[in-house]
Amino acid sequence: MTVANLGEHLVKITLVGRLDSAGVDKIETRFVAHLVPAGNNAIVDLSGVEFVASLGLRMFVSTARNLSVRKAKLALFGAQGPVLQIFEAVALSKIIPICATEADALQAVAPAAK
């Protein structure tokens, strides 16, 4: 897991490998810590993720809901093949924007124009 600050309250997280029980155990605390307490908007690059199990889904959903309380947003992008199929099967896009590209994800978390 790598984290890059893209600006004030905007973070990009890149995940790789498998988000199964063992994979989520390794990153969940850091993933949440980088986003939720500060209420950071976040985009998550999943182009290097091969598989997402229910615990991975739980991490994304829980984080998105916690960010929502803090008026911040989470968007995922770059998901491929089996990962995208899982997201579609659970209709994850009803809660979290699932974007094709980083630019789309940035747009999804950008503050609404006043």
Partner 1 sequence: MAEDNGSTNGTFLGADRLTAPVTLQEGDVLRMGAHFLRYERRSRRDAERQKAIDKDLQKASKYVFSLLPTPLTEGAVLAEWKFVPSTDLGGDAFGYYWLDQDTFVFYLLDVSGHGAGSAMHSVSALNVLRQRALPGVDFKNPAEVLASLNERFQMETHGGLFFTMWYGVYRLGDRTLTYGSAGHHPSYLVPTGKATSAPLGMPAMMIGAMPGMEYDTQTVTVPAGSAVYVFSDGVFEVVTMTQERWSLDNFLPMLLEPSVAGSSESERLYDGVKKATGPGPLEDDFSLMVLTFP
3-state secondary structure of 43: strand
C-alpha–C-alpha distance, residues 22 and 20, integer Å: 6
Provide CB contacts within 8 A for 82, sequence distance 6+.
50, 51
**26 scored as a contact of partner 1 (CB under 8 A):** no
For partner 1, the closer CB: 91 or 113 = 91
Compute the residue count for the chain: 114
CB of 5 to partner 1, least distance (A): 27
Residue choice 1, 3, 16, 90 for contact with partner 1 (CB under 8 A): 90
Q: Would you tell me which residues interact with partner 1 (CB under 8 A)?
A: 20-21, 51, 53-55, 57-58, 61-62, 65, 82, 88-92, 94-95
